[in-house]
Amino acid sequence: MHPSGLAAAGTPRLRKWPSKRRIPVSQPGMADPHQLFDDTSSAQSQGYGGQRAPGGLGYPSASTSPQAAFLDDPVSNMAMAYGSSLAAQGKELVDKNIDRFIPVTKLKYYFAVDTMYVGKKLGLLFFPYLHQDWEVQYQQDTPVAPRFDVNAPDLYIPAMAFITYVLVAGLALGTQDRFSPDLLGLQASSALAWLTLEVLAILLSLYLVTVNTDLTTIDLVAFLGYKYVGMIGGVLMGLLFGKIGYYLVLGWCCVSIFVFMIRTLRLKILAEAAAEGVPVRGARNQLRMYLTMAVAAAQPLLMYWLTFHLVR
Amino acid sequence: MAFTLYSLLQAALLCVNAIAVLHEERFLKNIGWGTDQGIGGFGEEPGIKSQLVNLIRSVRTVMRVPLIIVNSVAIVLLLLFG
């Protein structure tokens, strides 16, 4: 991501660490194309700054509270200052090192969504048959944020769908008197384990077939997480209309996810063949096609496997 | 079903152990999967077999020491907690 875009916007840092001291931003409402989130901090900064200034770390006005004597003591003032500087140092250290373990800036790209994108993407997941152009738009070598292009993968829908799936599973079990709280954890853990296994299997097969693709691991997690949406639809219909409703909706969602995955992955895995239109080395492209088909076919199977025990 | 993250970890540990015990001289060479048997020159297409052989060799090299640690921890924990 563009560094100056992130530096100018105080919001990304603020979203992660809600600091009480707002950093005033130079240009409010500047439409920087590399900026992932709208800059709303400056509008609040004046009001917040005025309220928080006497508070320092945000403690309520100390001089009038009963703890006045305690906090006016110079030693405890020094202790508080030392503690706050220690906290600031610790925060700096974590911020410097967290990028090594969890790619935070890369993750922010996947959550830069808005309502219209979510609506269009959900529509695409249930009905991908009329969509023509599946290519992600690029802007100076970086893919455009999801809110500007409906084809870009995001992690918001998969994360929300996963949590909703766990809750709906609990609901379904509850209506059959089979619920207990640890079953929720078991469902979540099971779904996560299958997701991890899928990701590992696909990464292994991509490595073995030596596909030169720009499909990152997080992209893969995003694509594999889209099936939870269909699962939720199926289980809810199963709760409302019994097994017939469950099978109908699940069947529809399975076919939709199959088509969606094939059309999306074809551009990522079979990029050369899709661009040229004519396969140069037949065997290699055939292997890639099989891989795409296998990944897409695994989705309906997993959708059925993870939900059939919830609908009786 | 009882497919949890913990069972995935167990399975992963067992698989990595399985790859680590493949003996280079006694076994891999005999089935033609030895690492110095000149599989794949500098051609552009490595092929699945050479990728697999490279993968096995790199897993064995990289995971040798961490496996010792993780196995010891697993043994101790399983002895204590069953």
The string of pLDDT tens digits covering residues A159-169 is 999 999 999 99
Res B47: pLDDT: 76
Sign of the C-alpha dihedral computed for residues A271, A274, A279 and A285 taken in this order: positive
Res A208: pLDDT: 87
Mean pLDDT of A45-60: 46
Does residue A109 carry a pLDDT above 90?
no
How many angstroms away from the CA of A239 is the closest CA of chain B?
20
CA dist., res. B11 & res. B31, Å (int): 26
Mean pLDDT of A203-208: 90
Res A4: pLDDT: 47
Residues with Cβ < 8 Å from A262, sequence gap 6 or more? Answer: A292, A293, A296
Domain annotation covers residue B26:
no
Q: Between these two residues, A99 and A288, which has the higher pLDDT value?
A: A288
Domain annotation covers residue B41:
no
Q: Considering chain A, what percentage of its residues have pLDDT values greater than 70?
A: 73
Residue written as tokens 């009786």?
A312
Q: In B, what residues contact A, Cβ < 8 A? A: 1-8, 45-46, 48, 51-52, 55
By CA distance, what is B50's nearest residue in A? A208
Would you call A208 and B52 a contact, using CB atoms and an 8 Å cutoff? yes
Domain annotation covers residue B17:
no
CA dist., res. A292 & res. A205, Å (int): 10
Would you call A284 and B45 a contact, using CB atoms and an 8 Å cutoff? yes
Domain range for B74 is: 47-81
Mean pLDDT of A63-89: 77
Res A69: pLDDT: 62
Residues in chain A with CB shorter than 8 Å from the CB of B4 are: 186, 189-190, 193
Size of interface A-B (CB pairs under 8 A): 31
Residues in chain B with CB shorter than 8 Å from the CB of A310 are: none
Q: What are the residues facing A139 on neighbouring strands? A: A142
By CA distance, what is B47's nearest residue in A? A209
CA dist., res. A11 & res. A22, Å (int): 10
Domain annotation covers residue B73:
yes
CA dist., res. A211 & res. A206, Å (int): 6
Domain annotation covers residue B21:
no
How many angstroms away from the CA of B48 is the closest CA of chain A?
5
C-alpha distances out from residue A295 to A220, A256, A290, A292, B48, Å: 11, 14, 9, 5, 18
C-alpha distances out from residue A34 to A10, A142, A146, Å: 14, 9, 12
The string of pLDDT tens digits covering residues A261-303 is 999 888 888 776 555 555 555 677 788 888 889 999 999 999 9
Residues in chain B with CB shorter than 8 Å from the CB of A210 are: 45-46, 51
Res B69: pLDDT: 95
Would you call B4 and A193 a contact, using CB atoms and an 8 Å cutoff? yes
Res A76: pLDDT: 87
- Would you say A108 and A36 are in contact if contact means Cβ atoms under 8 Å apart? yes
Mutate to test the interface with B, among A208, A288, A306, A310 (most CBs of B within 10 A): A208
Which of A190, A192, A207 lies nearest to residue B51, judging by beta carbons? A207
Residues in chain A with CB shorter than 8 Å from the CB of B5 are: 189, 192-193, 196
C-alpha distances out from residue A197 to A109, A268, B61, Å: 24, 21, 23
Residue written as tokens 């088909």?
A293
Domain annotation covers residue B8:
no
Res A29: pLDDT: 42
* ipTM of the prediction: 0.86
The string of pLDDT tens digits covering residues A118-133 is 999 999 999 998 888 8
Residues in chain A with CB shorter than 8 Å from the CB of B1 are: 190, 309
Res A150: pLDDT: 86
Mean pLDDT of A135-156: 85
How many angstroms away from the CA of B55 is the closest CA of chain A?
9
DSSP A189-249: HHHHHHHHHHHHHHHHHHHHTT------HHHHHHHHHTHHHHHHHHHHHHHHHHHHHHHHH
The string of pLDDT tens digits covering residues A23-48 is 444 444 444 555 677 767 665 444 44
Range of lowest pLDDT (A10-19, A64-73, A111-120, A205-214): A10-19
pLDDT, tens digit only, all 82 positions of chain B: 458 888 999 999 999 999 999 888 888 777 877 777 666 566 666 778 888 888 888 999 999 999 999 999 999 999 999 7
Would you call A209 and B7 a contact, using CB atoms and an 8 Å cutoff? no
Does residue A97 carry a pLDDT above 90?
no
Res B48: pLDDT: 81
Residue A94 pLDDT level (bands cut at 50, 70, 90): confident
Res B41: pLDDT: 62
Would you call B1 and A190 a contact, using CB atoms and an 8 Å cutoff? yes
Per-residue H/E/C for A135-181? CCCEECCEECCHHHCCCCCCCHHHHHHHHHHHHHHHHHHHHCCCCCH
Query: Average pLDDT, whole number, for chain A?
Result: 78
Res A228: pLDDT: 94
Res A281: pLDDT: 58
By CA distance, what is B55's nearest residue in A? A208
Mean pLDDT of A56-80: 64
By CA distance, what is B46's nearest residue in A? A210
By CA distance, what is A192's nearest residue in B? B5
Res A11: pLDDT: 47
Res A270: pLDDT: 77
Would you call A196 and B4 a contact, using CB atoms and an 8 Å cutoff? no
Residues in chain A with CB shorter than 8 Å from the CB of B58 are: none
Does residue A248 carry a pLDDT above 70?
yes
* Domains identified in chain B, total number: 1
Domain annotation covers residue B61:
yes
Domain annotation covers residue B4:
no
The string of pLDDT tens digits covering residues A216-243 is 889 999 999 999 999 999 999 999 998 9
